[in-house]
Amino acid sequence: MPLPLPLPLPLPLPLPLPLQLQLPLPLPPAASGALRLCQGVIVAEDVNQRRAEYWDRQAGRYDREMNFWDRHLFGDSRPWACSRAAGEVLEVAVGTGRNLSFYPDGVRLTGVDWSPAMLGIARERAASLGRDADLRHGDAQALDFPDESFDTVLCALGLCAIPDDQRAVAEMARVLRPGGRLLLVDHVAASARALRGVQWLYERITIPLAGEHFRRRPIGHVRELGFLIEETERFRLGIVERVSARKAG
């Protein structure tokens, strides 16, 4: 679930920040009770709870704001990813269920998200679509499923806002069956150095506000886990990346 913020155009940001999430000054690595998410940005160790509460507050307007970004930035990325899903499917960070209408008939869908308010909207959407889906509360960094439970794992526009994206990708790999497919879509570090600089500046605000990262590249974690990259594409100045990969076995 990406934050509906400019990527990377300097449009208005939703300020002021809540007091507990104000932009901190750089602290030493040994600062007590803190988790360093990137250089110069530190948040309290209850970051998961704060992020879930943030997305609960965003749930009511999320779809309206994401309509713009899906049209003008992400394009056909949602149907691109969902059309490649098959069998037992897990969607991580299912959010309000914006992907539900794009899955092929016959898939058996499970979705997890850490925002109860988002899940409520997703369940309503599934019912209106006649889509049978098991939508449950969960943490992408500690998926509550046995090893090798799914044929496909999909995460569309979610890893940008998960505190430990490397751990989340490792969890996706763990619950994916050998030979299963991993499908990822996200906004990532831009191709041009100047744009990456703008993204770095944005992160000074967006990470403390909503845990939103602009310069990640999840494909690196996928390669480190030994996946075979079947398809990869970057567009919009390299800001959007989508990946289809197979687990060995």
CB 200 within 8 A of CB 38: no
Comparing 28-42, 49-63, 101-115, 173-187, which segment has the lowest mean pLDDT? 28-42
Provide mean pLDDT across the span 90-119. Answer: 97
Instruction: Express each pLDDT in 71-92 by its tens digit.
Output: 999 999 999 999 999 999 999 9
Mean pLDDT of the chain, nearest integer: 85
Q: Nearest-5° angle of CA 197, CA 202, CA 207?
A: 125
Does the residue 119 lie in any domain?
yes
Instruction: Express each pLDDT in 133-187 by its tens digit.
Output: 999 999 999 999 999 999 999 999 999 999 999 999 999 999 999 999 999 999 9
CB 183 within 8 A of CB 153: yes
Other CB atoms closer than 10 Å to residue 236's CB: what's the count? 15
- CA distances from residue 172 to 6, 36, 152, 159 in whole angstroms, order as listed: 28, 23, 9, 11
Does the residue 188 lie in any domain?
yes
- CA distances from residue 211 to 17, 91, 119, 154, 186 in whole angstroms, order as listed: 13, 20, 19, 20, 14
Does the residue 104 lie in any domain?
yes
Q: What was the pLDDT predicted at 68?
A: 95
Provide mean pLDDT across the span 31-41. Answer: 40
Does the residue 210 lie in any domain?
yes
Question: Would you place residue 50 in the very low, low, confident or very high pLDDT band (cuts 50, 70, 90)?
Answer: confident
For residue 60, is pLDDT > 50? yes
Give the Cα separation of 156 and 11 in Å (integer): 24
Two structure tokens written together for 239: 């800001």
- CA distances from residue 49 to 52, 167, 237 in whole angstroms, order as listed: 5, 17, 34
Comparing 6-10, 117-121, 138-142, 227-231, which segment has the lowest mean pLDDT? 6-10
Does the residue 217 lie in any domain?
yes
Q: What was the pLDDT predicted at 2?
A: 54
Quote the percentage of the chain above a pLDDT of 70.
82
**How many domains is the chain built from?**
1
CB 133 within 8 A of CB 147: no
Q: What was the pLDDT predicted at 23?
A: 33
User: Residue 68's domain spans which residues?
Assistant: 19-246
β-sheet bridge partners, residue 88: 108
Q: Looking at residue 219, which CATH number applies to its domain?
A: 3.40.50.150
Does the residue 103 lie in any domain?
yes
Does the residue 6 lie in any domain?
no
Does the residue 86 lie in any domain?
yes
Quote the percentage of the chain above a pLDDT of 90.
75
- Per the model's pLDDT, the better-predicted residue between 241 and 22 turns out to be 241
For residue 44, is pLDDT > 60? no
Q: What was the pLDDT predicted at 34?
A: 42
Question: Would you place residue 46 in the very low, low, confident or very high pLDDT band (cuts 50, 70, 90)?
Answer: confident
Region label for 130, one of left (φ > 0), alpha (ψ between -120 and 50) or beta (otherwise)? left
